[in-house]
Amino acid sequence: MAGRRRTSGPAVLAAGLLLSSLVSCGGPSASDLAREQVQRLLDRRAAAVLHHDPAAYAATGARAPYANLKAVPFTTWSYRLTALRRSGSRATAEADLRYRVTGYDRAPVTAGRTLTLSTGPDGKWRVDSERPRAKAAQQLWDQGAVSVVRGRRSLVLGVGQDDAALRGYAGLADRAVPAVSRAWGTDWSRHVVVLVPGSLEQMAALLGSPASSYRGIAAVTTGEAGGSGRAPADRVVLNPDAYGMLGSLGRQVVLTHETTHVATRAHTNAATPLWLSEGYADWVGYRDTGRTPQDAAPELQRAVGDGEVPGALPADRDFGFAGDATRLARAYEGGWMACRMIADKWGEDRLDDFYRAVGRHRSRSGAVEDALRDEFGTTLEDFTAQWREYLTAHLG
């Protein structure tokens, strides 16, 4: 028995090594092979987009959404397969779509996509449909054929909009860019991408949120705060329902406000309170219009007139889109008046310096207090008291 144990050990080990060798030489599994085939299919589909080749795109399967996006200029377009669930001749794929708009995006936009696939008699995979991944935001071309208008400093992409309307938006954006540069400086991209969906509901779908969150909101700017340098160009997304109700001055102010967010993004982070980021954007928006506090801050004027001078600067929660409309208006107006006071009292350049000084902090704690001390030699308590006096003087 002892002898058998000594001789059988190496034999068993040898058999195990042989079995392992046989398995490792057996090639990829059926699952791995399907993933490789689907990834190659998606690579061909991406190449067809970049090469503007509708026939090559159609050869990969469903023609949608190529017809809707073919007018958009892309520098890059690629898919990375992240999951594949197969059942016989059918499969569902999850993929990350990464793309860059030519001349505007410094890094790729990433969008989650779900694709359904099937194999034909030849055994090759084809795409049957492509849609946004569950809970992911739509892309503009998911909503219809995208029309493109190029401005001098802007790119306007619209669905369900005529060219004349899109040219009008481009003109507003082209005027917004130099207006922002005159106030903030030129250390930003100095161009802007504007998305114009067909309705409030479609705007909300682009932002991945319910429509109720943006009712009455004329525009929103998307993008990464903090200026890592890896983020793509911000997108200014218009709400055609609310934006369309504005007069010519209001439209310009809104587009200039949103373009200011694009310009200041690298200096805006978790340390920046919304009263400063939104107030500064409003300050730039109104800067060249000649609008007085009485013109631009009616809700706050009403409160001050009733003896309800705010006791503190607006809190971030006051800027919630889904909250009370009057509270929201007063928050924006209060932030604007704070920035206007800084520009009046210390100068426009010092306002810019203050904004950047706050953004140099990584967290909210102490950021405003340190910047007020370093830039203006004051405290938050004294600054707030001066702001309240400023409101009374100009709105009382």
Domains of the chain plus CATH, in order, are 30-136 (3.10.450.50), 138-265 (3.30.2010.30), 269-396 (1.10.390)
pLDDT of residue 27: 59
Q: What are the residue ranges in the chain where pLDDT is below 50?
A: 1-25, 226-231
User: What is the spatial distance between Cα 327 and Cα 373, in angstroms, rounded to a whole number?
Assistant: 29
Burial bucket for residue 167 (CB in 10 Å: 0-12, 13-18, 19+): middle
Token pair of 91 as six digits: 């499969």
pLDDT in tens, 262-309: 999 999 999 999 999 999 999 999 999 999 999 999 999 999 999 999
Minimal CA–CA distance to 319: which of 310, 327, 308?
327
pLDDT of residue 229: 42
∠ CA 58-203-148, nearest 5°, is 50
∠ CA 51-140-229, nearest 5°, is 75
pTM passes above 0.85: yes
Minimal CA–CA distance to 139: which of 239, 208, 193, 233?
208
User: What is the spatial distance between Cα 129 and Cα 5, in angstroms, rounded to a whole number?
Assistant: 61
pLDDT in tens, 199-241: 999 999 999 999 998 998 999 998 755 444 444 558 999 999 9
| Residue 211 DSSP label | G
